[in-house]
Amino acid sequence: MRSLILSTAVRFLLPLILLFSVFLVLRGHNEPGGGFIGGLVASTAFALYALAYDVTQARKTLRASPHSLVAAGLLTALLSGLLPLAAGRPFLTGLWIKREIPVLGKAGTPLLFDAGVYLVVLGVMLMIIFSLAEEPKGERKAKR
């Protein structure tokens, strides 16, 4: 059963929840928050969308497969660890940009690592949510 109220509310809530998740990531490298909680909040937005519409529509709205999000996140986190190696420092040492960026504040490799964690958590959670929410192919035929 599809709820008109829920589907209308989700269209307005999805961008707000995603914006809040990005806020958590950007705030998290200096204060509580970060990539993990930001990824959980973003996956909650798509879970809500999948409840309001269906999983196939949520996958279309995502525009990327959860597997590719996990891969991009792992590569981003690895890159944040390899950049200090290229600078002659130990793996995963924090490197910082000298000038502050207006919205981000002090940016550096910890923010890059948080972005990687964000993508990994978002991808893994969406794989779990989408696989649990999808109907098995045999059950679709049995309902008709």
Phi, psi for residue 21 in degrees, rounded to 5: -65, -40
DSSP 8-state symbol, 103:
T
What are the C-alpha distances in Å from 100 to residues 39, 77, 108?
A: 25, 22, 10
Q: Where are the alpha helices (DSSP H) in the chain?
A: 4-28, 35-52, 55-62, 66-86, 109-133, 137-143
What is residue 98's predicted lDDT score, i.e. its pLDDT? 87
Burial (CB count <10 Å: 0-12, 13-18, 19+), residue 117: buried
Kindly write down the DSSP assignment for every residue of 125-136, as one continuous string. Answer: HHHHHHHHHSPP
Q: How far is 39 from 80, CA to CA, in rounded Å?
A: 18
What is residue 99's predicted lDDT score, i.e. its pLDDT? 87
pTM: 0.88
What is residue 29's predicted lDDT score, i.e. its pLDDT? 67
Residues (pLDDT < 70) of the chain are 1, 29-30, 137-144
What is residue 130's predicted lDDT score, i.e. its pLDDT? 95
Q: What is the pLDDT of residues 98-110, one digit of tens each?
A: 888 887 777 888 8
